[in-house]
Amino acid sequence: MPVASEHSTMSKVVDATQHGQSHYGRTARLTIQLPSGLLTSYFLKILEGELGMITCRGEYESLKSIYSVCAHTPAPVGWGRYTEDNIDYSFLLVEFLAFQKQPADAKNLAASLAELHLKSQSPTGKFGFHVPTCHTRNVQAVDLWTDSWCELFSSHLSRIISHAQTAFMWPEFDHLGKLVLSKVVPALLLPLQTDGRSIKPCLVHGDCWDGNTATGEDGRAFFFDVASFYAHNEYDLGNWRAPRHAVSDPAYTDAYKALIPVSEPGVYSTSRIGIAETYFTP
């Protein structure tokens, strides 16, 4: 079993059952008997190829960073690679947490997310991350360090626009993408860090929607399937605007803003969250 190196050789897998759904790989609940005889459960994700490796590594590093700040994620155990039938696979192993409700309710989710944003500290004091992370099957261009949130977000959004240009082959879209990156993004984001204003690089979930958050057995909201990096805190609210998500209910954003007020210039807050939404909206 590829996860064996993460446990004592005296531990053994007593059950492995398919659990949850993944559009891109296989997922299971493992029941492990420890040398003491105690049974404990883990969640295992297995993905294929180079993209699978980047995803598993990025999610592990994201979970590790979040878990060091607040216990609102499954505890990360490890990740690794193996080959089977000449196919390269990567795996992610984390603590198994049972759900009570999905998504978490507005106040609980806002409280957990706000705690992450408030308590986290960038190790460099800058925006970015030390490894690339993945949103769906897209490798995010966030593995750099910069003092400018506008610069990092421009890099981030530029990559997804490039992917879309290749798929659409639509000149009008190409022109619009250039205008958004050259005009709209700077107009909305540069004022956050000019005229004496400043913002803190916060560790973000990176894909905070209905399917990636839940209420645990202790009643608190927790996160998973994270694609983290150090960003402006409002970035996580972009995914809450998509009407297809239950978290688009204004109660979620209102509960969050009651804990962390909008950044100045406040007049641009809705538009800043809207430009973040463009990354998540297909």
Question: What are the sequence ranges of the domains in the chain?
Answer: 4-96, 100-280
The candidate with the shortest Cα–Cα distance to 73, out of 224, 211, 186, 205, is 224
* Half-sphere exposure at residue 167, Cβ-oriented, CA atoms within 13 angstroms: 7
Domains 4-96 and 100-280 share a fold: no
When the candidates are 3.40.47.10, 3.30.200.20, 3.30.470.10, 3.40.640.10, the CATH number that belongs to 4-96 is 3.30.200.20
Q: Which position has the token pair 């995914």?
A: 239
Buried b (16+ CB within 10 A) or exposed e, 234-270: bbbbbbbbeeebebbeeebbebbeeebebbeeeebbe
Model pLDDT, residue 282:
60
* Half-sphere exposure at residue 213, Cβ-oriented, CA atoms within 13 angstroms: 30
> Peptide bond preceding 76: is omega within 30 degrees of 0, i.e. cis?
no
β-pair partners for 221: 215
Model pLDDT, residue 21:
72
pLDDT in tens, the chain (282 residues): 344 444 556 788 888 888 877 777 899 999 999 888 899 999 999 999 999 999 999 999 999 999 999 999 999 999 999 999 999 999 999 999 998 899 999 999 999 999 999 999 999 999 999 999 999 889 999 999 999 999 999 999 999 999 888 888 888 988 999 999 999 999 999 999 999 999 999 999 999 999 999 999 889 999 999 999 999 999 999 999 988 899 999 999 999 999 999 999 999 999 999 999 999 876
Query: Taking the mean position of all CA atoms in its chain, how far away is CA 276?
Result: 14
The residues, ordered by sequence, that sit 6+ positions from 5 with a Cβ below 8 Å of its Cβ are 78, 80
Give CA–CA dist 223/76, Å, rounded: 12
Give CA–CA dist 259/261, Å, rounded: 6
Domain boundaries 100-280, corresponding CATH code: 3.90.1200.10
> Peptide bond preceding 250: is omega within 30 degrees of 0, i.e. cis?
no
Give CA–CA dist 213/105, Å, rounded: 10
